[in-house]
């Protein structure tokens, strides 16, 4: 056997060894890929099952929360009825006051808040002198330029609207003998009074009270607003 035949035989043997190793590596890779895919499939199935269980659990929680809210509402109504019964029953003295107090407590107004308001009503007031301001009154046919009145640095705003004397454009001024609407804007809310002049109103603001007296003015189409503040 010469040199060339020996070299050719050696190359064939090396190729067979390389092919055998490559085949083994390929089989191992295919096995790993198949195993990973089976594992991923099982994981997806488990995720779907867990997701279904989670949705069912969330639905159960939502149902229980709805039942709890319903029970709380029923309990609140029962407590309200029981409080009204316990407070109202007994003596006939002050029946209406007891009834109003029962409704306030049943509606969730705290006892401390009610006591504070009662103390305000019984407290001795330290008041400033009254200040007078004039304000124009709007009608359905006339909106004067000074239809808003701002008091106490913007803490209280007033607007008044009445009925014109004979609903004619020639006489647009309001009739002071008829009720007027006075809108009070304070603390971010609005309160409307519909009364005949003069109108009195107390506004409680913490430890202060604003007293309003609204009456007729000598100026046609206007009213006088007297106000002062009292410290309790």
Q: Strand 180-186 and strand 189-195: pairing?
A: antiparallel
Q: Which residue has the higher pLDDT, 66 or 93?
A: 66
Give whichever of 5-19, 64-78, 134-148 has the largest mean pLDDT: 134-148
Beta carbons of 174 and 165 less than 8 angstroms apart: yes
Residue-wise pLDDT tens digits, 28-71: 777 777 777 776 666 777 778 878 888 888 888 877 877 777 77
Q: What is the CA radius of gyration of the chain?
A: 43
How many other C-beta atoms are found inside a 10 Å radius of the C-beta of residue 116?
Answer: 13
Mean pLDDT lowest among 38-47, 64-73, 85-94, 127-136: 85-94
The CA-atom distances, in angstroms, between 29 and each of 44, 46, 60, 71, 206 are: 22, 25, 46, 62, 81
Name the token pair of 48. 């779907």
Residue 77 pLDDT > 50: yes
pLDDT at 93: 47
Residue 91 pLDDT > 60: no
pLDDT at 50: 79
């Amino acid at each position: 056997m010469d040199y060339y035949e020996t070299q050719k035989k050696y190359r064939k043997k090396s190729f067979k060894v390389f092919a055998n190793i490559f085949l083994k590596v390929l089989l191992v890779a295919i096995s790993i890929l198949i195993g990973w895919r089976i594992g991923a499939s099982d994981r997806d199935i488990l995720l779907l099952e867990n997701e279904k269980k989670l949705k069912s659990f969330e639905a159960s929680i939502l149902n229980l929360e709805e039942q709890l809210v319903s029970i709380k509402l029923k309990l609140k109504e029962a407590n309200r009825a029981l409080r009204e019964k316990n407070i109202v029953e007994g003596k006939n003295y002050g029946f209406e006051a007891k009834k109003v107090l029962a409704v306030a407590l049943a509606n969730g107004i705290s006892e401390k808040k009610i006591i504070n308001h009662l103390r305000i009503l019984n407290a001795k007031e330290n008041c400033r002198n009254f200040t007078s301001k004039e304000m124009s009154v709007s009608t359905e046919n006339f909106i004067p330029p000074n239809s808003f009145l701002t008091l106490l640095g913007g803490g209280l705003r007033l607007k008044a609207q009445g009925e014109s004397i004979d609903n004619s454009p020639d006489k647009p001024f309001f009739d002071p003998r008829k009720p007027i609407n006075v809108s009070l804007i304070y603390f971010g809310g609005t309160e409307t009074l519909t009364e005949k002049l003069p109108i009195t109103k107390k506004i409680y603001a913490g430890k202060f009270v604003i007293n309003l007296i609204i009456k007729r003015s000598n100026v046609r189409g206007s009213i006088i607003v007297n106000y002062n503040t009292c410290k309790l």
